[in-house]
Structure 1
Amino acid sequence: MNTHWSKDDMPPIYKPVVWEPADAEEAVALKREYGADAVWVAGGTLLRTQWEGGVAPMPAHMIRLDTIAGMRSIIEETEYVTVGALATLKQCGQHAALQQYANALYMACRHIAAPAVRNLATLGGNVASAVGDALPALLVHDASLLWVDGEVASLHHEQDAVDWMEQVRMGRRSLQAVLLGIRFPKGPVEAGSLLRSSSDIGEETTVDLSANAVSYWTDEKGERWRELCFFRKLGRREAFTPSLVTVALRCWISERGELTRVRVAAGGGSGLAMRLLQCESMLEGRSYDASWLPELASMAAQEFVSYSDPFAEAPYRQQSAGNLLAAGVWESIRDIEEGR
């Protein structure tokens, strides 16, 4: 393990000790030793924004995570795709396995911040912040989080992302946990269903990318189901701004228009992402009809728990979430009907 100081000519308040642990266990031990005086640092893009904005103080100790080997890879296995916590947003937004098996996350990573930020910002940092725009996408893909946690007996453990978000909501989040990675089940996707490669889409595009990959599966009765998946973000300007609201949806639609395995989530800004279970129940097993989209928008607005700040009131965020969700369903099914 190495340590070093920041430049001597900086004011004392801005002279944190920077630790470079050799592995996650050592990082946990450092956090246990220095407690609230230490923070984890990977890409550092969110932390820097908070420090410069006066939202959080510069800590006495920074514990680097980017020195830990093996946390930048994206590994495709038989049943899962595992993304290392230090994989950058750019890396995630260009990876074919995520495009096929976690398409909402793939799209989210192409919309978060500006390209220069995505080059540095990590998926783990976005998730561990508990308010990152990627979180609704994780929730609709039934993701689990891989931790090394000094507060649990097993040290290494896997936790459903929904359960972790509930811990955060209840104020029971572990302060000694290092996020190692994020794991997604592949689900019933048929091999070879990916239609377009990520190279077909420019890195700096700001248009919606919901049609960039199509996946199918066939049930035991021989009926074919197509994945319906999207991510939507509303910001104060068209591009490169913090979100006001983000929504994600993933489900499967049959040739008859019936929906199943529905997952819906919303978040954005400084609010906590959440699954919209009532909306999921409304859609599960239902055949698509544009006439019920206003009902879906209204239900999402009522179910989504949001907050007010100088930029937007809670009712506006809630209504926007409902409108984004309904519009996303309509646009996605329109694309299917038009053969896109």
Structure 2
Amino acid sequence: MEMNIETNRGPELFPRKVWEPANAEEAMMIKRQYGDNAVFVAGGTLLRTQWESGIVNRHEHFIRLDTIADLCGIGESDQHIEIGALTRLRECGTDATIAHHGATLYESCRHIAAPSIRNQATIGGNISSAVGDAIPALLVHNASLRWVDIGSEVTTIEQDLVDWLETVKSGRKSSTAVLLAIRLEKQTSSLTTEATEQSVDHQQEITFFRKIGRREAFTPSLVTVAFRAKIDPLGYFSQVRIAAGGGSGIAMRLLTCEQLLEGHRYHAEMITSLAMLASEEFVTYSDPFASEQYRKQTAGNLLAAGLWETIHAQIERR
């Protein structure tokens, strides 16, 4: 097993070792050997903020994942897009396949933090944080995650994103798992600036992503929402997927809001109803930057405005 060990003697009071595994198996072997004294690192943007805020202590051993070639890149099949966990956010926000078949994720990756951060941060790191802005976009694409975990008897684990978020909320998130890849459902549509559409069995697919943040830097957003649905020529919705998140809260599907639209015909009063229902259903929190009520109301307003703008843009293109 060939690995490089580097020692960094900066202002720290003790040396730190950086391991460069050639594959996921080597990475897991190192983690198994050093346990809590070792941490996986790729872009490192989230880890730096956690150190600076005192959320986590600095580890003695860093296990680089960006040296593993198999964890990078974007591929596709007939129905899915698969993204390596170490693919940079910048690449996800410029890739033609994601733009064409995953516009919600495409838009989210173009609006996460500042360009300098997107050049370094990875899609896997954004997800593994459990509070990344890409998560609502992935939820509306029924995304699944592929993991490898030294604490599991199974070589790799496939898990729906929504199920993994439940393990995070319940405190059962594994600290020894490495995210390998993300798989999401393809849209049946082509990209326009903020929404998408294409006739498929007389239906069109519409999507949008909206975000409110304090500033364009490496700070958590206040609220993010994502929407995906099909609509037929008479204005009836089907396969509705709506999600909301933001800040340090766990993103969630808004199932009651989905039921409000599912199988029903679009009308102007639906916009007001969606805003009110989303503000009631969205589970969030208060902090020094925004109150719980503000986040709830903002989520409702973002969804209502996004749906109104998307529907009317569709009408104008006809």
Q: TM-score, normalised by structure 1?
A: 0.88
Is the Cα contact below 8 Å between 2:101 and 2:186 reproduced in 1? yes
Q: Aligned AA for 1:10?
A: P
Inter-partner Cα distance in structure 2 for 1:258 and 1:215: 15
Counterparts of 1:119-198 in structure 2 under 5 Å?
119-186=119-186, 189=188, 194=190
Q: Distance in 1 between matches of 2:191 and 2:122?
A: 27
Segments of structure 2 that go 5 or more residues without pairing to the other structure are none
Matched, 1:82 2:82: yes
Matched, 1:325 2:311: no
- Corresponding letter in the other structure for 1:336: Q
> What CA deviation, in whole Å up to 9, does each residue of 1:8-42 have, x standing for no partner?
343225x3221111211222222233222222100
Matched, 1:268 2:246: yes
The CA distance in 2 between the partners of 1:330 and 1:102, in whole Å, is 21
Indicate the residue corresponding to 1:214 in structure 2: 197
Correspondence list, 1:34-45, <5 A = 34-45=34-45
Identity of aligned residues (%): 53
SS of the residue 1:273 aligns to = strand
Match of 1:310 among 283, 288, 293: 288
Q: Is the 1:20–1:65 Cα contact (8 Å) retained in structure 2?
A: yes
Give the superposition deviation at 1:215: 3.4
Amino acid at match of 1:307: Y
Secondary structure of the equivalent of 1:151?
coil
Please give the TM-score of this superposition, normalised by the length of structure 2.
0.94
CA distance in structure 2 between the aligned counterparts of 1:89 and 1:283, rounded to whole angstroms: 32
Give me the whole-angstrom Cα distance separating, in 2, the residues matched to 1:186 and 1:291.
Answer: 30
Secondary structure of 1:91's counterpart equals helix
Whichever residue aligns with residue 86 of structure 1, its letter is L
SS at match of 2:231: strand
> 1:131 offset after TM fit, Å?
0.6
Are the equivalent residues in 1 in contact too, given 2:210–2:302 (CA < 8 A)? yes
| Distance in 1 separating the partners of 2:20 and 2:230 | 45
Given that residues 50 and 56 in structure 1 are in contact (C-alpha distance below 8 angstroms), is that contact kept between their aligned partners in structure 2? Answer: yes
Deviations 1:120-162 (A, max 9, x none): 1100100011110000011000111011122222221211111
Task: Deviation per CA, 1:239-284: give whole Å up to 9, x if none.
Answer: 3453000000100111111111000111111111111111111110
RMSD: 1.7
Give CA-to-partner distance per residue, 1:274-298, whole Å, 9 cap, x none.
Answer: 1111111111011111212222111
- 1:3 positional shift: 4.1
C-alpha distance in 1, partners of 2:131/2:288?
17
Residue 322 to residue 77, structure 1, CA distance change in 2 (3 Å): same
Asked if structure 1 preserves the Cα contact closer than 8 Å seen for 2:243 and 2:254, the reply is: yes
Q: Distance in 1 between matches of 2:52 and 2:204?
A: 46
Q: Distance in 2 between matches of 1:9 and 1:95?
A: 37
Q: Is the 8 A contact 1:3 1:17 kept in 2?
A: no
1:306–1:318 CA contact under 8 A, matched in 2? yes
Taking the aligned partners of 2:311 and 2:114, their CA distance within structure 1 comes to 29
CA displacement at 1:95 relative to structure 2? 1.0
Q: For the residues of structure 2 that align with 1:110 and 1:216, how far apart are their CA atoms?
A: 26
Deviations 1:189-213 (A, max 9, x none): 2xxx5366xxxxxxxxxxxx413x4
Is 1:285 paired with 2:286? no
SS at match of 2:70: coil
Q: Gapped runs of 5+ residues in structure 1? A: 197-208, 219-223
1:250 aligns with 2:246: no
Q: Name the SS of the counterpart of 1:217 in structure 2.
A: coil
Report the AA paired with residue 68 of structure 1.
Answer: I
Q: For 1:216, give the aligned amino acid.
A: S
Distance 2:283 2:34 in 1: 34
What is the match of residue 203 of structure 1?
A: none
Q: Which residue of 2 aligns with 1:12?
A: 13
Instruction: Give the partner amino acid of 2:145.
Output: L
- 1:65-98 CA-to-partner distances (Å, cap 9, x unmatched) read 0011221110112222100001111100111111
CA contact (8 A) 1:100 1:214 kept: no
**Whole-angstrom distance in 2 between the partners of 1:215 and 1:87:** 28
Q: Distance in 1 between matches of 2:75 and 2:149?
A: 22
Paired letter, 2:250 = L
SS in 2 for 1:300: helix
Checking the alignment, whether the CA contact within 8 Å between 2:225 and 2:243 is kept in structure 1 is yes
Distance 1:155 1:314 in 2: 41
2:272 match: 294
